[in-house]
Amino acid sequence: MAEVYLDNAATTPMVQPVIDVLVDQLNHHWGNASTGYGYGRDAKRVLEDSRHVIAQSIGARDDEIVFTSGGSEGDNTAIIQVAHARAKLGKHIITTAIEHDAVLKSCQALEAEGFRVTYLPVDERGMISLTDLKEALDDQTTLVSVMMANNEVGTKMPIRQIGELLVDHQAWFHTDAVQAYGLEDIDVNRDHIDLLSTSAHKINGPKMMGFLYRREGLNFSSLIKGGEQETKRRAGTENVPAAAAFAKAVSLLTPAEKDHRGQKFLGFKHELVRQLTKHGIDFAVNGSPIDEAMPQIINLWIKGVPTQVMQNGLDLAGFAVSGGSACTAGNVEPSHVLVAMFGPVSPRITESIRVSFGVMNTIEQVDALATNIVKIVKRVKGE
């Protein structure tokens, strides 16, 4: 059968309108936006038009958007550079135990420099406690970084409540919105967000392109050292074609389209659960209830079937899904997200898969996925 891609939380394919913009820009607007002659002015216009589209999508000002190479750079910048810039006010950072590695490893690097980091625990839904956050805050806290939605289980964090909690505190509020941007309604002013990072390739845009929203008046130096691009906030020649393609991907996500995609993906999740239940598969959903999590992500504990066995079986059948673990240098390590949620000895750690939907998926593909999961379960269990 044809390959069915169901790992859209990892990356998404560029859609044709985005590809068309990217190719057109590469052909016709390849100048350096920092130069003063015609080619440069043309590229600068494209760059600023793209910045405006993206700023509007989160209720920000154009000059609060800094183009980056993606979510990791945005996270690194917001955490490392802010921590250093505000060290005289305190050296305490608060984050969660289930953040993306771009956040966690930034925090670990700061710990090695003498900063103090509180990693908020999560419950079995993958949710932090606002009480825990309140108790962790002190007069040395300068940054709170909580992801908008988890990339493995889809749990949505209480971003607006966190923002409101920090209004009268010196700590700046950063959120990694990589998995939420494009589907969630985001307003940085309403939600009192100071810093927000995301990535184009999660919304059918190009890789190596993203942005960091930094509220006006927040002063800290660029992580990337060099020229004075992005009004001295991010060195390096701007990737104008990718910025334009990113803006095109954003422009396609009208409120109606976001709602359509959300309902479509939610329907896929319910159909997958219905089919597995119908065939008597022993499974459970990891994380928040289906209707409360991000609509495109479902993490399933297929009881009694090792993750690698299920993932390999589906791969051979033509389905691309993610395991509940990450492979690093050939060594399979437990998912830190599932460990934080269920503990290090839970069978969920080694028997879970993540399925994540995108615009190119169909209900027929979901039914075919369910059929193949059933076949693999029955084969493994000898039924």
Q: Which helix (H) or strand (E) holds 364?
A: helix 363-381
Catalytic one of 208, 284, 327, 332: 327
Q: Strand runs (DSSP E) across 281-346, as ranges? A: 283-286, 297-302, 319-320, 322-323, 325-328, 331-334
Question: In terms of residues, how long is the chain?
Answer: 383
CA 73 → CA 51, 76, 101, 224, 378, distances in Å?
Answer: 18, 5, 12, 9, 44
Q: Which residue has the tokens 């589209």?
A: 53
Question: Coil, helix or strand for 156?
Answer: strand
What letter does residue 85 receive in the DSSP assignment?
H
Residue-by-residue DSSP string for 197-260: EEEGGGGT--SS-EEEEE-TT-----SS-SS-HHHHTS-S---HHHHHHHHHHHHH--HHHHHH
What is the number of alpha carbons within 13 Å of residue 240 lying toward its C-beta?
25
With CA atoms as reference, report the closest residue to 269 among 184, 367, 374, 183: 367
With CA atoms as reference, report the closest residue to 210 among 60, 78, 71, 25: 71
Round to whole Å and give the CA distance between 151 and 147: 9
Beta bridge partners of 61: none
107 is catalytic: no
End-to-end CA, the chain: 24
With CA atoms as reference, report the closest residue to 322 among 11, 1, 2, 3: 11
Round to whole Å and give the CA distance between 59 and 239: 23
Residues 8/296, Cβ–Cβ less than 8 Å: yes
Round to whole Å and give the CA distance between 110 and 119: 13
Question: Coil, helix or strand for 183?
Answer: coil
Question: Which residues form the catalytic set?
Answer: 327
